[in-house]
Amino acid sequence: MGSPDPSRPSRKTATRPAASPGRGPAGASPANGGRAIQVRVAGYPGRSISPRLKKEPGNKRAIRKKMLTTNQMIHQSISMQRDVSFDLVYQVVRTSGRLLRASRRFFRPYGLSEAQFNVLNLLRLHPPGMIQRDLGDALLVDRSNVTGLVDRLEKLGWVRREATEGDRRAFRVVMTEAGAELMARVLPAYEAEVRRLVADLGAKRASRLLEELKHLDACIEVASLRLEQVEEKGGES
């Protein structure tokens, strides 16, 4: 048998590698049973997020919640770095979409669309009626769209076309008695709904917002004209 060689450690004295702090035994997953995920935002060095996601079966909801929180943190990180212009345009588009959906829900019980209501409201403000071309200009829609709108309203019996003197190609659109009765029912409810919609803003804040939106509208008009000129030249902006 002989005595053991002192240069070789015995099996009993052999030691395992030391465990890393907070990681448990060597080679194991993190102490909480999850895995660390390093998330870096592209183009923004120095910003990282390290959520720990549990990997146990049946815990998918918690994992989705963690990932949702991670995505929110990433978007917040990006928005801190970029120009506020993108957030402004996004918010305007989002708000206009919300208003459009709300208006559809409001007008649906009356069998109206928002565009049809706008036509009837303009005719209400112009009792003698309006030339169809002028109606399209006021609504900011092209001639084919306004023709379709008036066609549908005429079939519903809410407007009628009348020939104009001196120009047989132009028609005057006039609201009928049935259209006036419809507006008498819709308009008070519409005005009340709009007031409820912006009530929390307060008068001063609503006035400031209106002025800012008018200014933004003018800026967009200038940009649109510039893009039209570029398009006509066949170039890029």
What is the extent of the structural domain holding 43?
34-81
Is the overall model pTM greater than 0.75, yes or no? no
Check whether residue 110 and residue 171 sit in a common domain. yes
DSSP 199: G
Check whether residue 124 and residue 196 sit in a common domain. yes
Check whether residue 177 and residue 149 sit in a common domain. yes
Query: Is 106 inside any structural domain?
Result: yes
Query: Is 29 inside any structural domain?
Result: no
Question: How many folded domains does the chain comprise?
Answer: 2
Strand partners, 35: 53
Check whether residue 119 and residue 41 sit in a common domain. no
Check whether residue 58 and residue 125 sit in a common domain. no
Check whether residue 137 and residue 194 sit in a common domain. yes
Query: Is 212 inside any structural domain?
Result: no
In this prediction, residue 232 carries a pLDDT of: 85
**8 A C-beta contact, residue 182 and residue 156:** no
**8 A C-beta contact, residue 36 and residue 14:** no
* Closest to 119 (Cα-Cα) out of 100, 105, 140, 102: 140
Query: Is 22 inside any structural domain?
Result: no
Check whether residue 113 and residue 74 sit in a common domain. no
pLDDT means over runs of 10, the chain (237 residues): 52 47 46 47 46 54 64 59 83 94 95 94 93 88 87 96 81 95 97 94 94 94 90 75
In this prediction, residue 42 carries a pLDDT of: 46
Query: Is 122 inside any structural domain?
Result: yes
- Which CATH number characterizes residue 108's domain? 1.10.10.10
Check whether residue 122 and residue 56 sit in a common domain. no
